[in-house]
Amino acid sequence: MIKMVRIDERLIHGQVALIWSKQLGIDRIIVVNNKAANDPILSSTLKMAAPDSVKVIILDEDKAKVLLRDPRIGNLKILVVVNSPKDALFVAENAEDIGKVNVGNYGKADKDGEQRVKLNDNVFLGEQDKEALRKIIKLGVTTEYQLVPDQPITDMSTVI
All structural domains of the chain? 2-158 (3.40.35.10)
The SS3 assignment for 57 reads: strand
pLDDT score, position 110: 67
Q: What is the pTM of this model?
A: 0.95
Render the burial of 118-130: b for 16+ CB within 10 Å, e for the rest.
ebeebbbbbeebb
Find out whether 52 and 27 touch, Cβ atoms under 8 Å.
no
Q: Which of 1, 9, 10, 13 is catalytic?
A: 13
pLDDT score, position 111: 67
> How many whole angstroms separate alpha carbon 19 and alpha carbon 107?
22
The yes-or-no answer on residue 106 being catalytic is no
Rounded mean pLDDT for each run of 10 residues along the chain, 160 residues in total: 96 88 96 97 96 96 96 95 97 94 88 83 95 98 96 94
pLDDT score, position 113: 73
Find out whether 91 and 98 touch, Cβ atoms under 8 Å.
yes
Pairing outcome for strands 101-103 and 143-145:
parallel
Phi and psi torsions of 22, nearest 5°: -70, -45
> Which residues have C-beta within 8 Å of that of residue 159, sequence separation ≥ 6?
119, 145
